[in-house]
Amino acid sequence: MKNIFGCFLVLFAMGLNGLNAQQDLKLAVDKSDTRFVKDWLSKGHDVNSLLFLNEQKMTLLSYAASVGNAEMVQMLLSKGADVHLKVEFEDALMFAAKSGNLEVLETLLKAGANPMNENKIGKCARDIAQDHKQTAAYNLLKLETEKRLSLLRSKRSK
């Protein structure tokens, strides 16, 4: 019985440490503490690790995009964050569309984010920006989508 209880305590403490680490990462992004995040990554953590933040699974890149932290987004991309990674059908560009930060959106688009990706209900980043009344973000994403569609059409006609 003592062994079972001891194992439970160890597992519980490990879970708390994981939650504390996630909260620390969230605070680091909120405060633009790139040094803390770089230190966390240097300890062997995966830049594309799944986290549970704001009652939702997401990557650190998605969280940084959701709060409009352009400096953190750029740093995470430079450390290998996958701009294409979707968690529960949402990618970082969709999170950025909610916040409407144009610098973050442009950074993600330059890194190769696809504005035509759709979430589980068929909405792309442009639609999400519109739903969140982010007019400038909507216009940017609409223009980028039109450019990409035009490019695809021209490739098909060749």
Q: Which pLDDT belongs to residue 116?
A: 96
Domain boundaries, the chain: 2-156
Taking a C-beta distance cutoff of 8 angstroms, is the pair 141, 125 a contact?
yes
The CATH fold assigned to 2-156 is 1.25.40
> Three-class SS of residue 53?
strand
Helix (H, G, I), strand (E, B) or coil at 55: coil
Cα distances (angstroms) measured from residue 103 to each of 67, 84, 150: 12, 18, 24
Report the pLDDT value the prediction gives residue 156, as an integer from 0 to 100: 84
**Predicted confidence (pLDDT) at residue 80 exceeds the cutoff of 80:** yes
Helix 135-156 × helix 102-110 angle, to 10°: 20
Express each pLDDT in 104-136 by its tens digit: 999 999 999 999 999 999 999 999 999 999 999
What is the pLDDT at residue 18? Answer: 59
Q: Could you report the per-residue pLDDT of 86-102, keeping only the tens digit for each?
A: 999 999 999 999 999 99
CB 50 within 8 A of CB 87: yes
Q: Which residue has the higher pLDDT, 3 or 29?
A: 29
| Residue 19: predicted pLDDT | 65
Tokens of 136: 């400038």
Q: Write out pLDDT tens, residues 10-55.
A: 333 334 345 688 899 999 999 999 999 999 999 999 999 998 887 8
pLDDT of residue 49: 92
